[in-house]
Amino acid sequence: MTNREKQIYMIIKEDPLISQEELADKLGLTRSSVAVHISNLMKKGYIIGKGYITQEPTYITVLGAANIDIGGSPNGVLLSHDSNPGTIRTSHGGVGRNIAHNLSLLGNSVKFITALGDDEYGHKIIETMNRLAVDVHESLITRENQTSIYLYINDGAGDMNVAINDMAIYEKITPAFLQSKLETLRHSAAVVLDANLSEDAINYVVDNVNVPFFADPVSCVKAVKFKKLLPKLELITPNALEAEVLSDRKIDKYDDASIKAAADEILARGAKNVIITLGARGAYLANKNMHMILPVVSAKSVNTTGAGDALLSGVVTGFVNGFSAEDSLRLGQAAAAITTESLETNNPLLTFTAVKKRAELA
């Protein structure tokens, strides 16, 4: 918040019905200048609704990727080096976008900062996020790159077998671009980072913003970006292979001792909480107070794409709403279960009520 915005905010707190003309007279500004400052305060979450209702920000900011996902699933067993009869679906995806979408479905106020091409795909993503009431106005829109595309092939069980991503556009999210977003980030209840961002961008945000950070490593190659930043993270959610990268320890998903050793190392390197996802076994939660495995929540799974994003969305929702780490993970696992029951990457039936019921926390 700038000094002028602070002045306006304090006046509005004392007199929520004050007009822009009266504000302008009090501060010696033009009405149009006051309008700009009020618009900025609304974007940052300090003012909501009509009559200048004020509040401390309660929004979650997601900083990461937004893709168009093009996915194919075979009708039967996937055959390599051959043409497979099946179905092809196009949907909106990207780790950051999926998380922002899920967070909104779970009832959170969400701001999403990403990079999009000024093209048909980019416009469709913006339209979708607007319908979800996710604020994307601070995202970068460019004609120099196309909107990111993620192409994947599932196996016969619905699990991703191979994928190719075209994400060059995210190099546009630089520290110089992010400098103008610091006020929004600093006033977030939490910030979710996905490792599709450049290491420079991630480092800049973590070094200049002091809020709880939740990190999605995305892949083994990209997880390394968070290794030196673990002391700044409230929570990180690697799978077993990504946890090996973060801990420099080998993991056997069916050997609890190896999982605990890796989790202990990640905690020793500074993370406050770590959740290691273990596929069908569930998830391993560790912090200074506990180590435990929680089994998966039962589901009639048809598509596992996006399950990890849903898990983190549920966990973050739990944390910002005051749930314990254990119950937050239960919410995350329930969100993942519900998500896998839809062919879509984001299940429209995902709600906070549904998640609490599936997690048996209602």
For residue range 47-97, what is the model confidence (pLDDT) as tens digits? 765 566 555 557 999 999 999 989 899 999 999 999 999 999 888 999 999
The Cα 167–Cα 349 span in angstroms is 29
Question: Span 97-124, mean pLDDT?
Answer: 96
Residue 217 has pLDDT above 90, yes or no: yes
The Cα 100–Cα 110 span in angstroms is 6
DSSP string spanning 78-90? PPTTS---EEEEE
The answer to whether 273 and 231 are in contact (CB under 8 A) is no
Residue 344 has pLDDT above 90, yes or no: no
Burial (0-12, 13-18, 19+ Cβ within 10 Å), 243: buried
| pLDDT given for residue 32 in this prediction | 87
The Cα 14–Cα 201 span in angstroms is 38
If DSSP codes are grouped into helix, strand and coil, which group holds residue 36?
A: helix
If DSSP codes are grouped into helix, strand and coil, which group holds residue 256?
A: helix
| pLDDT given for residue 52 in this prediction | 63
If DSSP codes are grouped into helix, strand and coil, which group holds residue 95?
A: helix
| pLDDT given for residue 160 in this prediction | 86
| 149, containing H or E segment | strand 149-154
Whole-prediction pTM value? 0.81
Residue 189 has pLDDT above 90, yes or no: yes
- Return the closest-CA partner of residue 311 out of 343, 289, 284: 284
Question: Span 195-206, mean pLDDT?
Answer: 97
Per the model's pLDDT, the better-predicted residue between 137 and 4 turns out to be: 137
Provide the percentage of residues in the chain whose pLDDT is more than 90: 77
pLDDT single digits (tens) 300-314: 988 888 899 999 999
The Cα 279–Cα 130 span in angstroms is 33
- Domains parsed from the chain with CATH numbers: 3-54 (1.10.10), 60-211+296-358 (3.40.1190.20)
What are 293's strand-pairing partners? 284
The answer to whether 160 and 154 are in contact (CB under 8 A) is yes
Confidence of residue 115 (pLDDT cuts 50, 70, 90): very high
| pLDDT given for residue 135 in this prediction | 93
Strands 86-93 and 110-113: unpaired
